[in-house]
Amino acid sequence: MYKIVLPIFEGPLDLLLYFIKRDEINIYDIPIARITDEFLNYLNMLQELDIEIASEFLVMASTLMEIKAKMLLPSEKQPEGTEIDDPRRELVQQLLEYQIYKEVSNYLEANLRQTHNLFFRGIYESEIAEISSNYKTYKPATVYDLAKSFYNLITKNQKDGFHEIRMTEYKLEDAISNILQVLQFERQISFRKLCATTSRQILVLYFVAILELIKQKKLYAYQSDYEEDIFLFLTSNLPRN
Amino acid sequence: MQKVFFNLDRETQKQILETLIFASEQPITLDEIADIIENKLEFSDFPTSNFSIAETIHLGEYLLGLIEEINHDLESSNRPYQIINVANGFTFATKNEFGKILGSLPQFRHKKRFSKAMLETLAIIAYKQPITRPEIEEIRGTNSSDILNVLLERNLIKIVGRKETIGRPFMYATTIEFLKTFGLNNLNELPNLDEIRALVETKNKKEELTLKIDFGEEQQQSSIQ
């Protein structure tokens, strides 16, 4: 039995900083050949373990090799007094910049320990929790989510038999005002419930009405998870921020 | 109107203040409170006191004094919460030992969990806002779209517009929720970036220094041999 422990790196810069720290490398004078080897060895190891390598690691590998190549080439003659442009300069700048934000994230982490047991009086989350009943989180539903939901409904409501076209008195305006009316009394409407009992024609009307209201920014659609029901909220009922 | 508020007895003043803080969804600022009690409220229903306060007193300071007293009252009646100053305003928050109880519930535990990537990304947005995804990714050197979605979902960042460059990418900024989560009053309370830069450089130099010392020792040893 093998147990492989891999440190988690947030990206190629993080990995480079790890090498620099581990081997006590001077960041202002990086031995580029050595660190390129380290970097490539690491990627090879990932490959052997059959772990997919993110493209940014490959980009970094090529950057490192480019720098290495440049450093091997004899530099062009520079006019007197001007400094030779170090091919590593840009990379070092990037590493230093990244180090700064890593340091800030340490500060944020320390703050989190302070506020760990701090909970604020809040309205928003408890109301959302009410709808979801357990610990689901809601995310904004896209037009595609709506379309998919609609498709499921329309295929479910399909009946066999003769096809007959009848004029309906029901208009798009009616569907819109109906939705808005319900939302005067209810905080949210379930998309499935809204379309559960109506005929196919009215279903289409409701769907167009919802799209129209979303376009007018009067409605918001939320969904807890892929293929879950979609809830519609009035924009004015949503918390600010 | 301000005079009218000042004419109320102190207990009533505290109750009104507590009501405003209680009803506010986000931390309410002293300015907001002052505006409400100066311009928006009628106090005719409340008993006034004969005790009058010097008109020269500064309203903000006076309100702070009241908040302090409310906290003292809460403390002496063993309430498990306090009014705290966060995100430039005032809001109710649990006391440490009782917050712990909530922290053990899954929906709250989830809220307090942060990955390294989330903190890094938040740090960048906090200083560079408004900032686009490509700009964040340039600093982090790695794809950040999933992290941004998580941060948006947790309400720690928001989209504040689009940048008028190629692709018109969204621009992100931190929210009040961010300040609340990290116990900050405003973004200026974050450490100064130049100081952090200096700190990072000293750390780097120190490593360089130990390197030289090691090297020096090696040389010495070899010379002894």
Per residue in B10-32, pLDDT tens? 899 999 999 999 998 889 999 99
Stated pTM of the model: 0.68
Residue from the list B93, B153, B193 with its beta carbon closest to the beta carbon of A137:
B153
The pLDDT of residue A77 is: 63
- ipTM more than 0.95? no
Amino acid at B57: I
Asked if pLDDT for residue B66 goes beyond 90, the answer is yes
Determine, for residues A118 and B140 on separate chains, whether the beta-carbon distance falls below 8 Å. no
Q: Which of A24-38, A44-58, A78-92 has the highest mean pLDDT?
A: A24-38
Do residues B3 and B55 touch, judged by C-beta distance below 8 A?
A: yes
The pLDDT of residue B128 is: 95
Do residues A29 and B204 touch, judged by C-beta distance below 8 A?
A: no
Q: How far is CA B158 from the centre of its chain?
A: 15
Distance of alpha carbon A142 from alpha carbon B112, whole angstroms: 27
The pLDDT of residue B45 is: 77
The pLDDT of residue B221 is: 45
Determine, for residues A104 and B155 on separate chains, whether the beta-carbon distance falls below 8 Å. no
Lowest mean pLDDT, pick from A84-88, A200-204, B216-220: B216-220
**Mean pLDDT, to the nearest integer, of B140-145?**
92
Q: What is the CA radius of gyration of chain B?
A: 26
Distance of alpha carbon A105 from alpha carbon B140, whole angstroms: 12
Name the minimum distance, in Å, from the CA of A30 to any CA of chain B.
11
Do residues B87 and B184 touch, judged by C-beta distance below 8 A?
A: yes
CA-nearest of B156, B203, B177, B191 to A101 is B191
Distance of alpha carbon A50 from alpha carbon A54, whole angstroms: 12
CB atoms within 10 A of CB A114: 10
Asked if pLDDT for residue A83 goes beyond 70, the answer is no
Q: In whole numbers, what is the pLDDT of chain A averaged over residues?
A: 79
The pLDDT of residue B79 is: 94
Distance of alpha carbon B151 from alpha carbon B134, whole angstroms: 16
Q: Which residues of A touch B180 (CB under 8 A)?
A: 120
Determine, for residues A121 and B141 on separate chains, whether the beta-carbon distance falls below 8 Å. no
Q: Which residues of B touch A126 (CB under 8 A)?
A: none
Please report the number of interchain residue pairs, chain A to chain B, with beta-carbon separation below 8 angstroms.
Answer: 151
Name the minimum distance, in Å, from the CA of B214 to any CA of chain A.
10
Q: Which residues of B touch A111 (CB under 8 A)?
A: 182-184
Determine, for residues A105 and B123 on separate chains, whether the beta-carbon distance falls below 8 Å. yes
Mutate to test the interface with B, among A119, A127, A128, A223 (most CBs of B within 10 A): A119
The pLDDT of residue A101 is: 95
Name the minimum distance, in Å, from the CA of B48 to any CA of chain A.
31
Name the minimum distance, in Å, from the CA of B41 to any CA of chain A.
23
Q: What are phi and psi of B183, to 5 degrees?
A: 60, 40
Half-sphere exposure of A24 (CA within 13 A, CB side): 10
Distance of alpha carbon A101 from alpha carbon A14, whole angstroms: 11
Distance of alpha carbon B57 from alpha carbon A111, whole angstroms: 35
